[in-house]
Amino acid sequence: MATTADFRNGLCIEHNGDPWKIISFQHVKPGKGPAFVRTKIRNLNSGRLLENTFTSGVKINIIRIENRKYQFLYAEGKDYHLMNNDDYEQIMLQKEFIENVEFLKEGENINVLFHADKGMPLSADLPSHVTLEITKTEPGVKGNTATNTFKTATTETGANIQVPLFINEGDKIKIDTEKGVYLERVK
């Protein structure tokens, strides 16, 4: 058994009989009353985000999880088919279980979190950065580069992202998947 002192971002816990992942937490010690921990947690079964407050020192169950590398094969409606890189076993995850799914392209490797005791997939995370090709954007106007201005562009996965004016169709760009922002142009 662990306590709230063991909280950290990404920790998976059992709360009300369901597996939850801690997105963020903050220890609060008010002037009056007992200390508490304010958290944002995501239900790994439904994908629902919840803000919850735990009394400081309360006992929690930590879920043992395993990280496994899978390759994204294809999407079929809301189902995403993945293949294990080690033993070629295929699994299917629903769209809600994959973080930032709009940046996922075929052939991309992702991390899948598994419940170690039950052997069932809980969620999937993309790499922190991905490289995507721009398929549609308006051309930049020459001489309009004096300020830090952006325009909307569509990537090969269908995601819309804000890019600088000098980015054109066919350019490859590096995207931060957590924030969903443009980082740099890739040669």
Is the per-residue pLDDT at 172 higher than 90? yes
CATH match of 2-62 with 2.30.30.30: yes
| Residue 43 contacts residue 50 (beta carbons within 8 Å) | yes
pLDDT band at 25; cut points 50, 70, 90: very high
- Look-up of token digits 């997105």: 23
Classified by CATH at the fold level, domain 129-186 comes out as OB fold (Dihydrolipoamide Acetyltransferase, E2P) (2.40.50)
Q: Of 118, 100, 126, which is closest to residue 45 (Cα–Cα)?
A: 118
* The two domains 65-125 and 129-186 share their CATH topology (first three levels equal): yes
Q: What is the mean pLDDT of residues 27-41?
A: 91
pTM > 0.75: yes or no: no
Q: What is the mean pLDDT of the chain?
A: 88
Domain 65-125, what architecture?
Answer: Beta Barrel (2.40)
Check residue 143 and give its pLDDT.
64
* Domain-wise residue ranges, the chain: 2-62, 65-125, 129-186
Between the CA atoms of 17, 21, 26 and 29, what dihedral angle is there, to the nearest 10 degrees?
Answer: 20
Q: What is the mean pLDDT of residues 55-68?
A: 88
